[in-house]
Amino acid sequence: MHRLIVILGDQLSTTLSALAGLDADRDVVLMVEVMEEARYVPHHKQKIVLLLSAMRHFAATLQGRGVRVDYVRLDDPANSHSFSGEVARAVARHAPKRIIVTEPGEWRVLQMIEGWQAALGVPVTILSDERFFCSRSEFAALAKAGKTSRMEYFYREMRRRTGFLMAEGAPVGGQWNFDSDNRKPLPKGTRPPARLRFSPDDITREVMDLVAKRFANHFGDLEPFGWPVTRDQALAALDHFITDALPAFGDVQDAMKTGEDFLYHSLLSPALNCGLLLPDEVCKAAEAAYRAGHAPLNAVEGFIRQILGWREYVRGIYWLEMPGYAATNALGAARPLPDLYWTGDTPMRCMAKVVGQTRRTSYAHHIQRLMVTGNFALLAGITPAKVEEWYLAVYADAFDWVELPNTHGMVLHADGGRLGSKPYAASGAYINRMSDYCDGCAFDVKEKLGPKACPFNYLYWNFIDRHEARFAKNPRMAMPVKTLRAMDPARRAVIREDASRFLDALPSSGPSWPRRG
Ligand code: FAD
Ligand code: DLZ
Ligand code: SF4
């Protein structure tokens, strides 16, 4: 046999660099379902179903094209349940001259792969992942040239390089960013469109049975499962989004509403991150909708910025800064993760709603992740590794390269400001403005102190108070620091007392899960 081509669960693209030049007569593709990947954090049941079902469908697609696929299933009695163990077994079965793999999406896995050559005595070629607009080496070069200190500079550079929404070297519409148009609450009475979900076929049903048996103790509801698991379904999901939701995506991008899990968001991140969709085709479809007059510029620019800007930027930062990045804890946060993140059992209606939705769907949109569960973790000072473990586990789209910078950097400011110049800290007023969560909450968003007050209010000032010295040096935090310093010292003392009373009473039995290494 010629080459063993290893394809990981988030590399389900027929255009993957590892598959280029595949010799169907002599090469073997290896795909493995292993407990190590399913259990290094307690992934949501729907996430495991998504990955395993999409892997099985992808293997069938390759086989349909005449490719020899060696597919190891989770219930294979000989399964060693680790990537390295399964590659070793496959080497013994096939005696390849070379192992080919596209670079993984996680530092932990890259470390493993880098050990294969020495351990197995077979040369290993690790290829660049060309499914991104900006390769790791291009990002490193941009960083050297000082173009990655903020996402916005990087994004403009990527617009110039790719030509998305550009006309004669200038941004279409005369400005790069239309974000200021995209912060409206959902108008009363507006009903977002029903979203395309996919009924499980026989392959997905079989995986669901397996997950019900083997991962019963994992977070999240198994049913209803509606994520796309094939390329055709992912393309249908893209088409549906462009037609029905993209036109209104921009205006209410930051809004949150009880009972509306998806609003006008694309829901494409699970398919994008496991490779069923490519970012280039997604951005092209959005731009075509703008050029055809189907969707306005603020929606299309906002959407393309998320993918061409944020998605590429966080990946670049991840690979540039790892492994040191994950170990930073600039704000010294050390509180255990409260149980409410797993149970949703809390009188804080916003937290209960977002955790409940996450449990039902394995999805929450960006502002729910950033300004509700994220904001709470930031203000409460929860240990970064524990918060990261939670985000990595609960969302169907969560992979280390994208989850870690968003959580560690954008939400928790644990990187000291590498990713964002200021923490996205907010009091209850922000949540009240952007959602209907406060209606019917046990707490009063207008109350600042005392047992009835919205906890976000005193936690916000307690957070500024705890980090006063640090934030005083950050011009973007000057306003809250000034307000805090003008406060009556007695009021500051009550803020501290209220924050301690509330936080210390939160049950946090601690998950029985091993920390990720
Ligand atoms: P849309 O709102 O429709 O956006 C379109 C696309 O843009 C998304 O599909 C996604 O590919 C991309 N995108 C948008 N925002 C970001 C961002 N900040 N970083 C990277 N890509 C972005 N996204 C993930 O894909 N995986 C994660 O593990 C993940 N973890 C997150 C953790 C936290 C704490 C926060 C605040 C954000 C996280 N995000 C993550 C970013 C964002 O929340 C999701 O990409 C988005 O909610 C996915 O839903 P959607 O496809 O409907 O997105
Ligand atoms: C997330 C995941 C899960 C749950 N299971 C598997 C698996 O059994 N086999 C596999 O190849 N990949 C799986 N994955 C995705 C991997 O964790 C992911 O490919 C690596 O973390 C690299 O990004
Ligand atoms: Fe959340 Fe506070 Fe509003 Fe309750 S009052 S929903 S805790 S922001």
Q: How far is the CA of 129 from the centre of ligand 2 (A)?
A: 16
Q: Which of 435, 454, 502 to mutate to test the pocket of ligand 3 (most atoms within 8 A of CB)?
A: 454
Q: Are 160 and 166 in contact (CB under 8 A)?
A: yes
454 in ligand 3 pocket by Cβ < 6 Å?
yes
**Ligand closest in space to the Cα of 427:** 3
What's the CA-to-centroid distance between 72 and ligand 1, angstroms?
A: 31
What does the pLDDT look like over 109-168, one tens digit per residue? 999 999 999 999 999 999 999 999 999 999 999 999 999 999 999 999 999 999 999 999
3-state secondary structure of 46: helix
Mean pLDDT for the stretch of residues 255-271: 96
pTM of the shown model: 0.97
Q: To the nearest whole number, what is the mean pLDDT of the chain?
A: 96
> Which pair of structure tokens corresponds to residue 467?
């980090």
Q: What is the pLDDT of residue 10?
A: 98
Give the CA angle between residues 202, 205, 208 to the nearest 5°: 155
Q: How many whole angstroms from 419 Cα to the centroid of ligand 1?
A: 15
Nearest Cα residue to atom 6 of ligand 3: 438
Closest CA to 94 of 179, 170, 30, 20: 30
Ligand 2 pocket test, pick from 5, 10, 227 with the greatest ligand atom count within 8 Å of Cβ, gives 10
Distance CA 251, CA 340 (A): 31
- pLDDT tens, position by position, 172-229: 999 999 988 888 888 888 899 999 999 999 999 999 999 999 999 999 999 999 999 9
Residue 515 has pLDDT above 70, yes or no: no
**Nearest ligand 1 atom, CA 364:** 47
Res 517 pLDDT > 60: no
The residues lining ligand 2, judged by C-beta closer than 6 Å to any ligand atom, are: 8-10, 32-34, 37-38, 43, 48, 51, 104-106, 109, 399
Residue 484, token pair as written in the block: 């805090």
Q: Is the pLDDT of residue 352 over 90?
A: yes
Which domains are seen in the chain, by residue range? Answer: 3-127 (3.40.50.620), 136-202+229-321 (1.25.40.80), 340-504 (1.10.579.10)
Q: What is the pLDDT of residue 514?
A: 44
Type of residue found at 43 = H
In the predicted model, is pLDDT for residue 513 greater than 90?
A: no
pLDDT of the residue at 509: 84
CB 161 within 8 A of CB 283: no
Please tell me the chain's helix, strand, coil percentages from 3-state DSSP, rounded to the nearest 5.
50, 5, 40
Per residue in 284-332, pLDDT (tens digit) is 999 999 999 999 999 999 999 999 999 999 999 999 999 999 999 999 9
Closest atom of ligand 1 to CA, residue 269: 9
Residue 323, preceding peptide bond in cis (omega within 30° of 0): yes
Q: What is the pLDDT of residue 510?
A: 66
User: In the predicted model, is pLDDT for residue 95 greater than 60?
Assistant: yes
Residue 99, C-beta contacts closer than 8 angstroms, at least 6 positions apart: 3, 4, 5, 6, 87, 91, 116, 117, 120, 122, 123, 124, 125
- Whole-number Å distance between alpha carbons of 179 and 147: 21
Model pLDDT, residue 511: 56
